[in-house]
Chain A
Amino acid sequence: MEEGVVNEILQGPLRDVFDSAQLLTDVSGSGNNWAVGHLTYGSAYRDQIVDKLRKAAEHCDCLQCFFLIHSMGGGTGSGLGTRVLGLLEEEFPEVCRIVTSIYPSAEDDVITSPYNSVLAMRELTEHADCVLPVENQSMVDIVNKIKLMSHGAKLGSMIRRDSTVISGQGGLSGPEKPFDAMNNIMANLLLNITSSARFEGSLNMDLNEIAMNLVPFPRLHYLVPSLTPLYTLADVSVPTRRLDQMFSDAFSKDHQLIRADPKHSLYLACALMVRGNVQVSDLRRNIERLRPSLPFVSWNQEGWKTGLCSVPPVGHTHSLLALANNTCVKPTFMELRERFTKLYRKKAHLHHYLHVEGMEQSFFSEAITSLSSLIEEYHQLDSTKARLIPDAPRLSIAR
């Protein structure tokens, strides 16, 4: 809803990739206000948005899914973004909606980001098929880790510069701008998810399979992504050990894209999307190896979805993207709820929202209720973790 970013793209090396008729900008932005994005601009531009969506959909032989990419803390991405999500559900109910959301970190510079995030979360819980939450802080940590490895590394563990997940290798732009490194991580995430749909492999995994396998209950669709490897060592010996290390890393908390520790929470389901020269025996070996240390919910003890794509990403020989439906998102949501409550209790900044036409206090109360019940659902599942759940008694056949 402001022109700067879109204009920059249009002047950059990708200007020919985007169809200028499919762009929508306004002048003044949303002022970091979810209500302005969702309600004011949402209503004003509704018809134009639907129109452009239809146009894009018409060009497709077979529309499989929509990717929504936005942040939760601002006004446009968060507010207008979730309005668009609702429109997608209305206009294209059969098409899968996968949302990649950047969650604000605690030290976010936008004061009202908790409000925006919680209001947006409600929309995501109701209208998205899958959400991949990503936290800025985790990406900052990963970027720092990579920079540490590339600058302070000892001999023998030098990394190939062009192979880091932040290098944007294969991309078109030149000098790095701030946030570029972090955005590259996100870009790699999206590339890996779609790789099996774009390239061939011995065990293909389409986008609608992700939603099918990883979402056992409709509201619990928050999938924690983790991407490995972050870089390739310049020394190419010992390939197999590196392969196994890649699998172990995918489950360590340093590689998760939100600040969470999945190994100590409960897995509902997990998907492993492997790219490159990896065979099914390597996959099976690593699953067997890692299984005992990962707590899975009782009714899904072998809850693995696997995909093998033969084409590796640029600069690597193989890579792994793990998507986990895990109760470790609960602390993230609880923290979000706390930050929200801190502001809401004092009614801080509330008037900015309530002044927007169509906005009412009930939006806030409903949003926080939705978040609380989501947290409760995850909590219920968590509580089954330690308990030994007996197998359900089978049907008995009379003879």
Chain B
Amino acid sequence: MSIVTVQLGQCGNQVGQELFDIICSDAVEGQRKTYSTCSCERFFRQSSHGELTARAVLIDMEPKVISHSMTKAAKSGRWRYGEHSHFSQKQGSGNNWANGFCVHGPRHRDVVEELVRQEVECCDRLAGFMPIMSVAGGTGSGVGTYVTQCLRDIYPTSFILNHLTWPYGTGEVIVQNYNSVLTLAHLYQLSDAIVVHENDTVHRICSQLLNIKHISFSDINRVIAHQLGSVLQPALSADSHRVYSRNPVGELVSSLVCHPEYKLLGVCTIPNMPSSSIAYSTFSWPGLLKHLRQMLISNSKMEEGIDWQVRPPSGSGWPRNPTGGGSFNTSLANLLILRGKDVYSAETGGFEDPALYTSWLLPEQALTMWKSPVSFNKYEKSATLVSNSQALLRPLDDMVGKAWNMFASRAYMHQYIKFGISEEDFLDSFTSLEQVISSYSQLC
């Protein structure tokens, strides 16, 4: 079953290239044959000579990034992008969501649809679509939202898993909060699940865990690619009967997104270490899982600086009081993925504790587990947690708050209005997101 990736804008194309790189080297390096075959089929088309071509469509409104990504891929010697699987223009979207969504999207709809159709036709079975983009700019956010809308129209029964990169809180683009609000509000209606990475968090992982002195965007993108790869590479689920899952996206979505109001998914992986140290470290499942569990409940994205004081609420039975303001992170559902040695002996009872979850689902429904005996990306043992929880509530709230403040003074409105977005559209988006924030705050 194959995933068709759509890389949108500078961020999408840069992250996508790193993702395919990590997946390819993980799949190809001395792994077991079934894992390799499954992974390659999921992400690449294979020619008769064994050349791997990524199942991806690259879209950007200016040409430099796409050509850079394609060259970098070809240089790796192991895989490449399809020669014609890309589309770019010359002028960019000017960081303007309205320009991306109302002008560029519709203008180039046919070309993009055709490129996607060609990739889909090369798949024996389509597992789903994964648009990768950022929310701060103009192309990723605006054109990305439009393309997601088209995918939804044309392939109504396929799964769409959007991967979003949220920008640094202290600003990369001044109108980033407007662009983010508009994107999220629209995607909520179109997407099946939204996986989020925040630049701030990944930056901290790079500096504190990976000890990188001069962090570049490549470093950031590589961490994101590693985390995303650890979610999407083949794994065995409970009912897949010893065969790597044939429906990874569908299973992810159905296990985590049990209610359409709750679609935001966060990812954490453990361990994260500089690659030079990996060979000298030993890991134990109890240690890894204990840390990961505490990371979940204290809403910490890294294995350093975890607040061990945070505990699940101890009141027995339900209903419990909403802990929106407290530091305990309530989960709606979790997907735990374990990869590596001795994976079947790992004790995961801690994640089945009903105290971690809301009352809506039984703990056995709230926790899904995937395992793979094959180690991922050089880590002898690694664990990934994809969770639908309150973890993204605070960043979302901050983003909406800042956008609202700017909106109150009507700053930059004329830039959006001139491309066709009205104040009404903004208000609608704000309303949808306030609803999402309210829903997540009330989780208990």
Interface of A with B (CB < 8 Å)? Answer: 61-62, 64, 200, 202-204, 206, 208-209, 211-218, 269, 279-282, 284, 287-288, 291, 298-306, 308, 391-392, 394-397, 399
Q: What residues on B are CB-neighbors of A282 within 8 Å?
A: 214
Interface of B with A (CB < 8 Å)? Answer: 10, 14, 62, 64-65, 68, 89-92, 94-96, 138, 168-175, 203, 206-207, 212-218, 220, 400-402, 404-409, 411-412, 414-415, 430-431, 434-435, 438, 442
**Complex partner residue of B408 from A208, A280, A299, A306, CB under 8 angstroms:** A299
Task: Determine whether the beta carbon of B405 is less than 8 Å from that of A302.
Answer: no
Task: Determine whether the beta carbon of B62 is less than 8 Å from that of A394.
Answer: no
Task: Determine whether the beta carbon of A298 is less than 8 Å from that of B405.
Answer: yes
- A48 CB → nearest B CB, Å: 28
Given the known inter-chain contacts A61-B90, A281-B215, please indicate yes or no for A216 contacting B203, CB distance below 8 A.
no
| 24 pairs, A vs B, C-beta closer than 8 Å | A62-B89, A62-B91, A64-B90, A200-B64, A200-B65, A202-B217, A206-B62, A206-B94, A208-B91, A208-B92, A208-B94, A209-B92, A212-B138, A212-B415, A213-B174, A215-B415, A217-B414, A281-B203, A284-B203, A302-B169, A305-B171, A305-B172, A391-B401, A397-B438
- B181 CB → nearest A CB, Å: 12
Known: A303-B171, A394-B401. 20 other contacts (CB 8 A): A202-B217, A208-B91, A208-B94, A211-B94, A212-B94, A213-B175, A217-B414, A279-B216, A281-B212, A281-B216, A287-B170, A299-B408, A302-B169, A304-B170, A305-B95, A392-B405, A395-B430, A395-B431, A397-B438, A399-B438
Q: What residues on A are CB-neighbors of B218 within 8 Å?
A: 202
Q: What residues on B are CB-neighbors of A399 within 8 Å?
A: 438, 442
**Complex partner residue of B168 from A213, A284, A395, CB under 8 angstroms:** A284
Task: Determine whether the beta carbon of B170 is less than 8 Å from that of A288.
Answer: yes
Q: What residues on B are CB-neighbors of A203 within 8 Å?
A: 10, 172, 217
Q: What residues on B are CB-neighbors of A298 within 8 Å?
A: 405
- B200 CB → nearest A CB, Å: 9
Bound Cα distance A282, B207 (Å): 12
Q: What residues on A are CB-neighbors of B216 within 8 Å?
A: 202, 279-281
Q: What residues on A are CB-neighbors of B92 within 8 Å?
A: 64, 204, 206, 208-209
Task: Determine whether the beta carbon of A392 is less than 8 Å from that of B203.
Answer: no
Task: Determine whether the beta carbon of A280 is less than 8 Å from that of B215.
Answer: yes
- A210 CB → nearest B CB, Å: 9
Task: Determine whether the beta carbon of B94 is less than 8 Å from that of A209.
Answer: yes
CB closest chain-B residue, reference A384: B409
Bound Cα distance A301, B405 (Å): 10
- B390 CB → nearest A CB, Å: 16
Closest 10 CB pairs of A and B: A62-B90, A208-B94, A392-B408, A281-B215, A216-B411, A304-B171, A202-B217, A302-B171, A206-B92, A213-B174
Interface centre among B62, B401, B405, B414, by most A CB within 10 Å? Answer: B405
**Complex partner residue of A204 from B62, B168, B175, B412, CB under 8 angstroms:** B62
Task: Determine whether the beta carbon of B214 is less than 8 Å from that of A281.
Answer: yes
Task: Determine whether the beta carbon of B174 is less than 8 Å from that of A392.
Answer: no
CB closest chain-B residue, reference A205: B95
Bound Cα distance A61, B63 (Å): 13
Interface centre among B96, B206, B415, B438, by most A CB within 10 Å? Answer: B415
- A270 CB → nearest B CB, Å: 8
Task: Determine whether the beta carbon of A206 is less than 8 Å from that of B405.
Answer: no
Bound Cα distance A367, B45 (Å): 65
Task: Determine whether the beta carbon of B435 is less than 8 Å from that of A397.
Answer: yes
Q: What residues on B are CB-neighbors of A202 within 8 Å?
A: 14, 216-218
Given the known inter-chain contacts A204-B65, A217-B414, A395-B430, please indicate yes or no for A280 contacting B409, CB distance below 8 A.
no
Q: What residues on A are CB-neighbors of B89 within 8 Å?
A: 62
**Complex partner residue of B171 from A64, A215, A306, CB under 8 angstroms:** A306
Q: What residues on A are CB-neighbors of B409 within 8 Å?
A: 216, 299
Q: What residues on A are CB-neighbors of B400 within 8 Å?
A: 394
- B289 CB → nearest A CB, Å: 31
Q: What residues on A are CB-neighbors of B62 within 8 Å?
A: 204, 206
Bound Cα distance A179, B415 (Å): 37
Bound Cα distance A397, B438 (Å): 7
Q: What residues on A are CB-neighbors of B173 within 8 Å?
A: 209, 213, 305-306
Q: What residues on A are CB-neighbors of B408 within 8 Å?
A: 299, 392
CB closest chain-B residue, reference A392: B408
CB closest chain-B residue, reference A277: B214
**Complex partner residue of B405 from A61, A64, A299, CB under 8 angstroms:** A299
Bound Cα distance A306, B217 (Å): 13
**Complex partner residue of A304 from B172, B401, B402, CB under 8 angstroms:** B172
Bound Cα distance A302, B407 (Å): 15
- A226 CB → nearest B CB, Å: 18
Task: Determine whether the beta carbon of A218 is less than 8 Å from that of B414.
Answer: yes
Task: Determine whether the beta carbon of A212 is less than 8 Å from that of B95.
Answer: yes
Bound Cα distance A226, B434 (Å): 40
Q: What residues on B are CB-neighbors of A394 within 8 Å?
A: 400-401, 404, 434
Bound Cα distance A62, B91 (Å): 7
Q: What residues on A are CB-neighbors of B175 within 8 Å?
A: 212-213
- A395 CB → nearest B CB, Å: 5
Bound Cα distance A287, B212 (Å): 19
Q: What residues on A are CB-neighbors of B442 within 8 Å?
A: 399
Q: What residues on A are CB-neighbors of B438 within 8 Å?
A: 397, 399
Q: What residues on A are CB-neighbors of B65 within 8 Å?
A: 200, 204
- B356 CB → nearest A CB, Å: 24
- B209 CB → nearest A CB, Å: 14
**Complex partner residue of A397 from B171, B217, B412, B434, CB under 8 angstroms:** B434
